Structures are given as structure tokens and as C-alpha cells.
Amino acid sequence: MEIKTSDYAILGLNLSLELGKSWKPVTIFKDLSIKVPKGAIYGLIGPSGCGKTTLQRCIFGFYRPTKGSLLVFGRSPLEKGFGVPGPLVGFMPQDLALNEDLTIKEMLTFFGRLSDLPMDTVNERIDELLKVIDIPYPDRLISNLSIGQRRRISLAASLIHRPKLLLLDEPTVGSDPLLVYKMWTYLFHLRDTYKMTIVVTTHYLEEIVKADRFGLMRKGQVIVEDNPMSFMEKYKETSLEKAVFRLCTEWDSRNRASPSSSSSSSSSSSSSSNSPKLSPSVQTNGMDQKKTVQQSTVGSQNTQIHNTQSPSSSSSTLSSDPSSLASSSSITETWTPLSNFTVLIILMWRLWLRCQRFMIYPIILSCLIIFIISLTFGVMFGRFPKDLRVNYMNLGTSDRNITEQFLSFLSQNSIRLERVNSELESRLDLEKGLIDGYFIIGENFEESIREKIEKGLSSLSPSVHHRASESKVRDKIFLTVDASNQFKFDTLVITISRSLTKLMHETQTNLNVTNNYYQFFTVTPIYESYEPDNLMASNENVLIRYFLYAVEQFTIILMMSWTIKEAHERMNERLMAAGISRIQLTMALIVTSTLVIVPIYLIFFTLLIPTLNFPMRGSWIAVVLSIIAITVCGISKGIFIGLLSNDLIMAAFLHSAYCFSSLFLGYLLWPYESLPNFIKPLTYWFPFALSGDSLVWSLMKGKAFTDVLVYQNIVYSIIFAIVSNIIVIIGFNKW
């Protein structure tokens, strides 16, 4: 008898699905056929691993069958303007696909808004569903519910929008008999009242008896479809379990005898009047199937679906030709999906609620750590090493006033001086590490300074070399240090040089010499440094770069953990069934995290300015845009690492590699000019360094944002952030 495709909610013919690598595919099912009438409760049973859940995923468009034809309400899933995936289908996965950090009401409201339901309707249906599933406290966190209660909420989430097609995967696992009875009673109500088609997969055969139709899957095929009561009558058994056992035994023995015909073994069973036919396609027995499936009394239908050979192809009959199947569809309904902006707002609302529960405190803590580290870094960085132990010998015998002034200036720089009488003793102490250096003041040191000032000659500089003869150090300072520690070496050289300069000024004043003739050259700075003399290196320059570096690194850490949590959420599959794409999910995560993290960074940077007496001589626009750009860069890199990682341990390894490489390639530890030429292009992968250059020009040197030295690197960082996020959005399909 001819079968119209419009009579079926789900119609699949000769479906095959292969997953895995293209060079090593795994066959999930092959030549599978399934027919689910409209307005029926269809029970799908079979052993674990036979492909029941995967078949449901094909129905709502999560997978595309490799071969065969699959129609849902006469149209192909994923067809443009069709509501599958979307509001036409409700999906309850086997796993607890819920956000446990949301309340019951928030979770159900989220799915209601995704289906474009008004809030009044959403609230009414929440009240109705909570009564059915017997959970009276809507404001309770899902994480505080038992496993059974969570499964009930999962069922309610798939029913909130009253879809035309409801796919339930093990909905009654962990439920008590009374609740199972109430759930099935409600399913009957949905079928009879709203003509809803319901597909239930389960391991409980006693539940399948309540269904209008059932299908038995075995080894990737649906080997029988029938009414449960009729099926038991054919096998003259009083329980469905015994009837199914007999069928499986016959089917297995038939396949062992003729393995080559396992995909079309149906014809071999046609000789038996008591056993169903096992062909991949179905045929009615002559009664009006559409009327019987709408009867409210479960098990009263006489219509049977047998497995027989496929009829010949035609536009109005069941056919293996996809085009002929589609042409017979009478469904012309179109679905207008929500705008991307509306979906983005709803997804961001969900992420914001979740962020308040499990991410807001880590974000604030991370920013506080950046503030504390920056504060500590600002106080400590660039300082001279203190309490350096230095011995000295004074060979001079006259005008000790000048020498004492020089030693006094040295002592003011936290250098612990100790006078000795033996150079050999100091040499041995230096080699043993007991002191950091020693110097010898020549016997004509005082006279040499007085003479050079009076004659306008250059000031003395400390000589850092080995003494060749006594005459070379008679009017000099002979300094011996351990040059293996560059910081101590530079500290002693700079401190002695500054002390000598100060001594020359004092002596010049005492001798009433007004002209500064003792210098070889005069330095006129273009940009003044406002840092105190007790700093060995530029504090402001490094601190600006370090702050942006810390912003990116902590953002990466936050987004790694957030992405791993989101990417492994079981609810993503349910969101796909609701018509949400991975691009929308990723966009919502990027925008939400940016709106949450950037203001907190700006607040803490603002607090650093008065705390560290930080320079603010340029434009706030440069500061805001730089922090936004570097934060977004960190977000994209954190998502990138999170999607590449299966867990936090792997993510930590990947981040450590990036973190340490950025210290060098971001020229935090060493100037850009000192990098090898072949490495310099790699610095463009670290935009925090380029933005740091712009902020140095703006904050320290007072350049306006319109200056090319300021905006060019910030613009590059913004472009880098946009491109990296586009790559993350488009290039990954892990969700």
C-alpha cells in the first residue's frame, strides 16, 4: 500500500552514518530505516551502543547521515526556514544537560526565551511543569538537587516550549514508580492535547508497552517497528520482554546463517505469519494509521508496522530517492529564527548569571593579584642593591676633607664601607664572597681633584681595571669588583660615579668656581625623567609594559578555565538542538567576558596611578583602548588554548610555554633592539609589547592619541584582537 511521507513525523530510509577520521571511519549504523507517525508516542529500545542516541542526534540535525534519506515533518533537518534544529524539536539528552550554577527558574526561563516565548507564557508553563515533576522550589540552585530531581528539570527544559517533536533519551532513569507514572501520564496529555510526536529511548521494556509504536534497534538497524500489544500477540507471548527475546534470537540466527544479507534480511521472515517482517522499510496493514495513533487509550490500536521490502520509487510513496521523498511533503510551514542579536543577548544573560556564581570571584581575585604584584613591582623594581659590603684603602695623606666627603656620599647610598690596610686581604675576601668589592684611593687624589677643578679639566671617573703600576693609581680611584654579578657591578660603578660628581660640585662651590668646566659634555634631555636618583632603571617604562603583560596573562588563565568548563558542558548538545550555533556560543562568551573583565582592569589601573605616583601626561583614550585590545587578545588566546585542551593540566602546560616565550619576545626582560633580527618579527604575536610602547609615548612623554607613535600600535593590537577572535569563532568546531 502506498504511504505518504506527510503521514510521518520522522521518516528515514536506508540511513548510514560513519564517524571518526576519514581514513578510518567507524560505522554507527548502516541501511537503517525508521518511521514515526505523527502524533504518536514512539519507543526506541535496544542494547547500549546500538546507536539509539546517535539516531536521535541525526533527527535534530547534530549529525548528517552519510547515506540515505531522513525527513522530519516532510523536510530535511537543517533546512533553511525549518525549525529543526529549533523550536519544533525538544531534546532531553541522557546526561544531565543543565547548568548546575543556575536556579531552576533561570534554567527554564532561558530555554523559554530561546523559543521566543513571552515572559508571561514562560512563567505559566514553569508553574505547570514544576507541578507535574513535583518540584515546588523554583529558586533553588540545580546543583543542590538530587540526580533524580535534575533529570526532572531536564525533562521540563525540553517541554517548556511545547515542541511538535519531543526526543527523550532515558527520561525516567533514577525516578521512582510514582513519578514515572506521572511523567507518562503527562506525555499522554501532550500527545492527545497538542498532537505532539514523542520519541522515547529507554532500557525499560515495561515502559515501552505504554507507547503507541516501538522500534527495536540491534547492531545499527531497526529490525522491527510495531504496536507493542500487536507484537506480543504475533509471538503469542504475555510479556514484551519474551517477545523481543524470541525476535532477537531469530534475527541473530538468521544473520549468522546469511551474514551477507544482514542489511536486508527482512524477506527471509515473510514466510512466517507469526513473526514480523524485517526489511528496512515499512508498510501499513490496511487500516487508517493516522486515526489510530491519535487514540487516547494506549495499546488500543490495531495498526501494525511490519518490515517488508521497499516499494518502488514514486513521488507519493516511500522511496530511496531523496528528491522523490521531499517532493511528496505537504509541510509548508516556515520558521523565522530569532535575530542573532537577540540570541546573543539571551546567551549573554545566561553566561552573566553563571559568571556571578563561579567566575566573578576568580576575576576579581586575578585583578587584585595584578594590582598587588604591580604595586610590589613598582616599589621594588629599579632599586639599587642595598647593604653592599665594600672595603677601601686610603693612600692619601693630605686634605682628608675631600676624601671624607666622598666616603660620606658613598655611605648615603646604603654601601657598608670598611677601611682596611691590606689590598691582599681585600682580594682574598672578594674571592671568597665575603665582600662585593674594594677600591683604593690614590695618595694624590685630593690634590688631583682640586687641580682639575681649578684648571677646568674633566672630572675623575673611577677606573675599573687591574693596576699596572703605582703611578697610574696615584691620583685615581682604583676599583676592583666581581663582574659576574652585573647588578652589583653597575651599582658600584654608578654609585661611585655619582658620588664623585657630587663631590666635584661641593668642591667647586668651596673653591668659588662658578663655571662648570670640568665636564666633557652637557646632556640636555628632550623628555624629562621624573624618577628619583635612587633608581637604577626606569620604573615607569617597565611597569607600564608589565601591567599590560599581566593583563593578557591573567586573562588567558581566566578564559582557559572558563572555556574548558563551557566546552565540556553537556548542555551544549541541547543548545544545538535548540538551533544555537557554535559561532553564537563563542561570540556570547567573548562579548560577556570582555564586558566583565575590562571594567575591572580599568578600575585597578586607575587605582595604581595615585598609589605609585604613576605618570598620566597623555591620553586616557590610549589607556582604555590598549586595555580593551590586550584583554580581547587574552580572551581569544585563552579560548584558543581552552579548546585545544582536554583539561586544565594540558592547558597549564600550553599557557606556560606561551607565558615564558612572551617574557623574551615581548622584550620585558631585554630591550627589543638587542633581539636577533630573525626573532624580531615574532614580537608581533605579542601585541601587549606594542601597546606598551604606545602607552610609554602617551603616559610618560605626553603624546596625544592622534600621534602616529601612539595610535599605530594600539590600532594594530585592536586588529590583532579582532582577527584572532574571528579565527577562534570560525576555526573551531569542538563544541
- The model's pLDDT over 226-244, given as tens digits with 9 standing for 90+, comes to 999 999 999 888 888 989 9
410 within 8 A of 383, measured Cβ to Cβ? no
Mean pLDDT value of segment 40-67: 90
Instruction: Decide if pLDDT at 434 tops 70.
Output: yes
Q: Between 358 and 18, whose confidence is greater? A: 18
Find cell 530531581 and name the residue.
Answer: 149
Q: Which amino acid is it at 132?
A: V
Grid cell listed for 90 = 525538544
Of all helices (H) and strands (E), which one includes residue 601? helix 582-611
The pLDDT of 430-444, averaged and rounded, is: 86
Spacing of C-alpha 592 from chain mean position: 12
Most confident of 13-22, 258-267, 661-670, 726-735: 13-22
pLDDT at 345: 95
pLDDT score at 320 = 43
DSSP annotation of 138 reads T
pLDDT for the residue numbered 307:
41
3-state class (DSSP) for residue 378 = helix
Q: 85 preceded by cis ω (within 30°)?
A: yes
Instruction: Cell numbers for 168, please give them.
Output: 527523550
CB 42 within 8 A of CB 214: yes
Comparing 513 with 159, which gets the higher pLDDT?
159
CA–CA dist 346, 178 (Å, integer)? 36
pLDDT at 614 over 80: no
Distance CA 87, CA 577 (A): 9
Bridge partners for 392 per DSSP? 419, 439
Name beta bridge partners: 273: none
HSE at residue 30, side-chain half, CA atoms within 13 A, is: 9
Q: Is residue 729 over pLDDT 50?
A: yes
Q: What is the Cα–Cα distance from 19 to 31, expressed in whole angstroms?
A: 15
| Residue that has been written with the C-alpha cell 654608578 in this structure | 494
pLDDT of residue 465: 44
Per the model's pLDDT, the better-predicted residue between 679 and 414 turns out to be 679
Phi, psi of 532 (to 5 degrees): -70, 165
Cell numbers that stand for 405 in this block? 666627603
**Contact by Cβ (8 Å): 140, 103:** yes
Is 301's pLDDT higher than 60? no
pLDDT: is 324 or 206 the higher one?
206
Mean pLDDT, the chain, rounded, equals 79
Under 8 Å CB-to-CB from 355, ≥6 apart: which residues?
Answer: 363, 592, 596
Q: What is the pLDDT of residue 537?
A: 57
Helix (H, G, I), strand (E, B) or coil at 500: helix
Averaged pLDDT, 392-420: 80
Lowest mean pLDDT among 287-301, 504-518, 564-578: 287-301
Distance CA 611, CA 491 (A): 27
In the chain the first and final C-alpha atoms are separated, in Å, by 44
Q: Which residues contact 705 (CB under 8 A, 6 or more apart)?
A: 618, 619, 621, 622, 698, 711, 714
Question: Does the pLDDT at position 211 exceed 90?
Answer: yes
Cα distances (Å, whole numbers) of residue 286 to 292, 433, 474, 638 = 12, 104, 124, 61
Dist CA 111 CA 124 (whole Å) = 14
Distance CA 122, CA 516 (A): 86
Give the residue-averaged pLDDT of 4-30. 86
Report CA-CA distances (Å) from 419 to 422, 466, 479, 524. Answer: 9, 20, 14, 38
Q: How confident is the model at residue 647 (pLDDT cuts 50, 70, 90)?
A: confident
Binned at pLDDT 50, 70 and 90, residue 503 comes out as confident
Count the Cβ atoms, other than its own, within 10 Å of residue 370. 23
Per-residue model confidence (pLDDT) at position 20: 82
Q: Which cell is 556 given?
A: 588567558
Query: Which letter does DSSP use for residue 398 in this model?
Result: S
Residue 733: the pLDDT is 58
Confidence band, pLDDT 50/70/90 cuts, at residue 280: very low
Q: If pLDDT is split at 50, 70 and 90, which confidence band does 12 have? A: very high
- What confidence category does residue 456 fall into, taking pLDDT thresholds of 50, 70 and 90? low
The pLDDT of residue 294: 39
The closest of 227, 202, 196, 232 to 298, measured between CA atoms, is 227
Answer yes or no: is pLDDT of 460 > 70.
Answer: no
Question: What is the share, in percent, of the chain residues with pLDDT greater than 70?
Answer: 80
Across 75-84, 183-192, 291-300, 710-719, least confident range? 291-300
Q: How far apart are alpha carbons 688 and 549 in whole angstroms?
A: 6
pLDDT number for residue 333: 58
Higher pLDDT, 499 or 511: 499
Q: What is the CA radius of gyration of the chain?
A: 40
Mean pLDDT over residues 421-444, rounded?
A: 87
